[in-house]
Every structure is written in C-alpha cells, then in structure tokens.
C-alpha cells in the first residue's frame, strides 16, 4: 500500500511539475516596472494578492511571501486583519487574541453598492475593546499604519495603550483615515479603542528594502463582490502596489453565472484596477474542481432493505469555460496570466490532486501542502519575470 502511494505521489509530482514549468504569459510587456524595482537594492516591491478562500487562509500567498522575501528581502509583514475576532480563518503568520467578538461587514455580502475596505472585511470597535497581534515568523521591528474611520469626533485606534497624539501621524483620505505610528513593535502589539471607530485593517512595514506581500482574500468572494465596493479600490490604491495578483473565478464556476456575465465582471474589475497606474496586473486562472453528486440506493442486507448514500464527484466543465474567457481577455488586453488550470492537468485533474493528498475531499480546496506546492512553482515563474 505504501509503495502504491509513493508511486502515485511521484507520478503526480512529475506530471504537475512539467505543467507548472510554463512561464507567465505576456510578462515581457507588463512587468517592466516591477523588474526595475526588484533590481534596486534600496527599493520596496509591493505585491498585492487578491482572491477568495484559496487566498484568505494565506497558505498559498503566505508561502509566496516567504519565498520572495527570502530571495529579494523582507520589507514587512504586510496587511494584518483580526479574522479570529469575526469568527473566520486567517493567516497563520500571526496570532490574534481577544475576549471580544465583533460583528463584521463582509465584501461577499455586497450584492449591490457597498463600502467595505481593503481587507474585504471590517468591523466596529467600541471604547475599551481590544485585540492583540503576535507575529509568529517575523521578528523584524514593524512600523504600523492603521486604516479606520472614526464614528465619533477624534476617535482613533490606540497601540499598546499609548494615547499620546505625538505617537501618531494622521492622513485623511476621503471618508477614512490613515494613522501611521511613530514607534515600532517587534514581539506583539495590542490595539484598543479610545472611542468608537470602524477598523479596515493594519499595514505593517519595517522600512527595509525588499518585498512586502499583502494578502487580501474572502471566503466565497467573486469578481462581482469586489466590484460593488468603491471603498475597496480606493483603499487598495493607498497600498501603492507595483504588482497585483488576482486569483478569482472558483466561486463563479460553482454558480449559475453566464459566460457573458463573467466576462462583464472581469472587465469591470480590470477597469477599476486600471485606475491604479503604478500597478502591473497578473491573473491566475481558476483551478479545476469537481461537482458533488449524491445518489440514494436501496440495498438488501440480511433480509432487510436499507438506503445507502453514495457520493460521486464529476468534473466541473464550467471551470474550463471561465478559464478560456480569462485567457482570451488577458491576451486581448496584454495582461499577464499564469494558467493554474492547465498546470493542475486540466479537466478532471482535481481527482488526482485529492488522491495524492494535495487537495481537500470537497474537490474544490487544496491541502496545506497542495497550496504550498502551487506557490513554490508559481514563485519560480514569477521570479523569472522579476529578475531575468
């Protein structure tokens, strides 16, 4: 049995490695700015990775962050949000502790126009509420920028119970505020409320050259959800990204969206990104997945009839259709893309990933090692664009 499993894993790795070795398409045109920055020893390359549940868990993007920072330098932790405080999953790169649970506004609830910020989640903090952030892997001193909106005059987040205004520098941008701390933190920091405000997120940088990799993911998110929030794109511009990686399409593939509607939402999303003039954009095609079907059968056992539930997974052909639309769109607009769908092995390949232990039994998500495996190979393709 172990020998059979080893043969399966070796075959799986050989096939997927051959697929993943493809280069990023259209890279010579769109990544010039990023290449220049990556080659400057004193510069910071700001990468933003936007997606759905594949990204929110930060296994894929977290491994990309680790690999790129190990090679090109660590410029900071990136975007921090206390997901645990709103009862959802978040990055394993930091620990959140708090006795409070906060009702959250979510970008996935944006069916019509809404105002959800750059983390794709936000919540209100009341006076005397708090949470603590403890980095797990990055001991570099971090300078913090707080994104929030006061609910009463002069309300602000407070770091480590220090409410001296000399510790903060405020910049008002439309209907939200950026407050940059004038001190750094290493092991942990505690954010509390001097008065009521809405928290959008925290940006952590260390003022060193290298890569800063922002993860923005929301379970269940689609292009349409992001398109509904102007505040999201306004705050995204504040991050001043040099490269935006977009990993969406899975949730559309399991919905009733038409191909025309998908293209419209993709075009709308890209039009909004075009307003961020500093950024190159790179799309990853949605990975293969399978649809779950349940059949109830009647079987006779020991003289009695019993109902037996059988679960089958069938290839979701819609993923391939959306992948083709995305590639054609990128080719027409001269945008970069990396074909994850083809890299997996194309239609029906999810079954192989599940059997190899690289994907979850729901045939939609991946295991931790599956996400990290994708990241290691995507990293090779991206690094080739940045430094060749």
For residue range 247-283, what is the model confidence (pLDDT) as tens digits?
A: 999 999 999 999 999 999 999 999 999 999 879 999 9
HEC-encoded secondary structure of 243-289: EEEEECCHHHHCCCCCHHHHHHHHHHHHHHHCCCCCCEEEEECCCCC
pLDDT on residue 289 = 97
Closest CA to 219 of 82, 12, 341, 58: 58
Average pLDDT value over all residues in the chain: 89
- Of the listed ranges 157-161, 225-229, 241-245, 321-325, the one predicted with least confidence: 157-161
Q: Is the dihedral of CA 182, 188, 211, 245 positive or negative?
A: negative
The pLDDT, as a whole number, for residue 242 is 93
Name the pLDDT band for 19 (thresholds 50, 70, 90): low
- Which pLDDT score, from 0 to 100, does residue 332 have? 96
Q: How confident is the model at residue 28 (pLDDT cuts 50, 70, 90)?
A: low
Specify the pLDDT at position 12: 47
**Does the pLDDT value for residue 155 go beyond 50?**
yes
- Using DSSP's 3-state secondary structure scheme, residue 348 falls into coil
CA–CA gap between residue 204 and residue 250 (Å, rounded): 29
Q: How confident is the model at residue 15, as a pLDDT?
A: 47
The residue length of the chain stands at: 388
pTM for the structure as a whole: 0.91
- Does residue 22 surpass a pLDDT of 90? no
Structural domains of the chain ordered from first start: 2-387 (3.40.50.1110)
34-72 burial: b if 16+ Cβ within 10 Å, else e: bbebbeeeebbbbbbbbbbbbbbbbbbbbbbbbbbbeeb
Q: What are the DSSP E strand ranges found in the chain?
A: 44-51, 78-80, 94-97, 104-106, 121-125, 130-135, 142-150, 157-159, 168-173, 176-185, 189-193, 197-205, 210-217, 243-247, 280-284, 290-301, 304-315, 336-338
**Closest Cα partner for 156 from 190, 217, 116, 197?**
197
pLDDT the model gives residue 202: 97
pLDDT of res. 140: 84
């Amino acid at each position: 049995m172990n020998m059979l499993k080893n043969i399966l894993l070796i075959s799986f790795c050989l096939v997927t490695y051959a697929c993943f070795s493809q280069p990023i398409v259209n890279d010579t045109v769109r990544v010039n700015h990023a290449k220049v920055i990556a080659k400057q020893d004193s510069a910071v390359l700001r990468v933003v990775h936007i997606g759905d549940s594949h990204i929110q868990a930060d296994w894929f993007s977290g491994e990309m962050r680790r690999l790129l920072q190990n090679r090109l330098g660590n410029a900071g932790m990136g975007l921090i949000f206390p997901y645990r405080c709103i009862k959802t999953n978040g990055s394993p790169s930091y620990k959140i502790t708090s006795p409070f649970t906060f009702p959250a506004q979510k970008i996935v609830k944006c069916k019509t126009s809404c105002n959800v910020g750059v983390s794709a989640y936000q919540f209100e903090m009341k006076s005397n509420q708090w949470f603590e952030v403890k980095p797990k892997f990055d001991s570099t001193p971090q300078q913090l920028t707080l994104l929030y909106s006061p609910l009463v005059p002069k309300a602000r987040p407070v770091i480590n119970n220090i409410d001296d205004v000399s510790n903060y520098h405020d910049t008002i941008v439309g209907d939200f505020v950026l407050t940059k701390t004038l001190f750094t933190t290493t092991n942990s920091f505690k954010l509390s409320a001097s008065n009521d405000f809405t928290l959008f997120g925290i940006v952590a940088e260390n003022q060193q050259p290298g890569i800063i990799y922002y993860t923005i993911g929301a379970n269940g998110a689609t292009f349409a959800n992001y398109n509904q929030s102007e505040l999201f794109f306004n705050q995204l511009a504040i991050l001043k990204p040099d490269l935006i990686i977009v990993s969406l399409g899975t949730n559309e593939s399991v919905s009733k969206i038409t191909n025309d509607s998908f293209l419209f939402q993709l075009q709308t999303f890209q039009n909004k990104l075009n307003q961020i003039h500093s950024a190159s954009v790179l799309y990853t095609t949605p990975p293969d997945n399978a649809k779950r079907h349940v059949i109830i059968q009647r079987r006779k056992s020991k003289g009695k009839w019993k109902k037996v539930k059988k679960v089958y997974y069938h290839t979701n052909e819609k993923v391939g259709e959306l992948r083709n639309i995305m590639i054609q769109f990128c080719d027409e607009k001269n945008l970069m893309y990396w074909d994850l769908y083809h890299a997996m092995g194309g239609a029906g390949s999810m079954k192989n990933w599940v059997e190899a232990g690289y994907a979850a039994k729901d045939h939609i998500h991946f295991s931790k090692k599956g996400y990290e495996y994708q990241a290691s190979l995507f990293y090779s393709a991206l690094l080739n664009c940045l430094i060749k």
